[in-house]
């Protein structure tokens, strides 16, 4: 009876081990990749913002700004393919443009509110 129980427990544990390794390891790996990508996105936002700030003052075209962002990301240790780097930078530029448009919308809304309030007085 003891040998039978031992065999059953051993088989159950081996099935559990296989299930955990096939489900848990890919989940953790995918989660880590998402975390790593989000870290890269934050770095790209900073690099694009810095390039925008630098080249607005010094002048320069989009190509110069992109090269600056790529060099900055490489110095920060981001190791991606050219296609991935392009996607990362384009995403950061898109986010920057969205935030700038949002700021302009907020300014115009605040101006409209102020003028409406002054008219009511």
Helix (H) or strand (E) run with residue 60 in it: none
Q: Give me the pLDDT at residue 7, please.
A: 82
Question: What pTM was computed for the model?
Answer: 0.59
Q: How far apart are CA 94 and CA 99, in angstroms?
A: 9
Q: Give me the pLDDT at residue 12, please.
A: 84
Delimit the domains of the chain by residue range.
2-101
By the 8 A CB rule, do 68 and 51 touch? Answer: yes
Q: Give me the pLDDT at residue 36, please.
A: 83
Question: What pLDDT tens digit does each residue of the chain (121 aa) get?
Answer: 678 887 888 888 788 777 777 776 677 666 667 788 888 889 999 999 988 888 876 676 777 888 999 999 999 998 888 888 888 888 898 888 888 777 665 555 555 555 555 555 5
Task: Tokens for 91, please give them.
Answer: 């995403």
Q: How far apart are CA 16 and CA 14, in angstroms?
A: 5
């Amino acid at each position: 009876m003891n040998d039978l129980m031992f065999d059953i427990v051993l088989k159950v544990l081996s099935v559990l081990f296989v299930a955990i390794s096939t489900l848990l390891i890919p989940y953790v790996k995918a989660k880590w990749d998402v975390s790593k990508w989000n870290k890269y996105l934050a770095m790209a936002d900073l690099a694009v913002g810095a390039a925008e700030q630098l080249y607005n003052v010094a002048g320069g075209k989009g190509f110069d700004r992109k090269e600056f962002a790529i060099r900055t990301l490489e110095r920060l240790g981001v190791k991606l393919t050219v296609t991935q780097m392009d996607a990362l930078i384009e995403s950061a530029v898109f986010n920057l443009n969205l935030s700038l448009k949002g700021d302009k919308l907020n300014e115009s809304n605040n101006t409209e509110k102020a003028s409406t309030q002054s008219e009511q007085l």
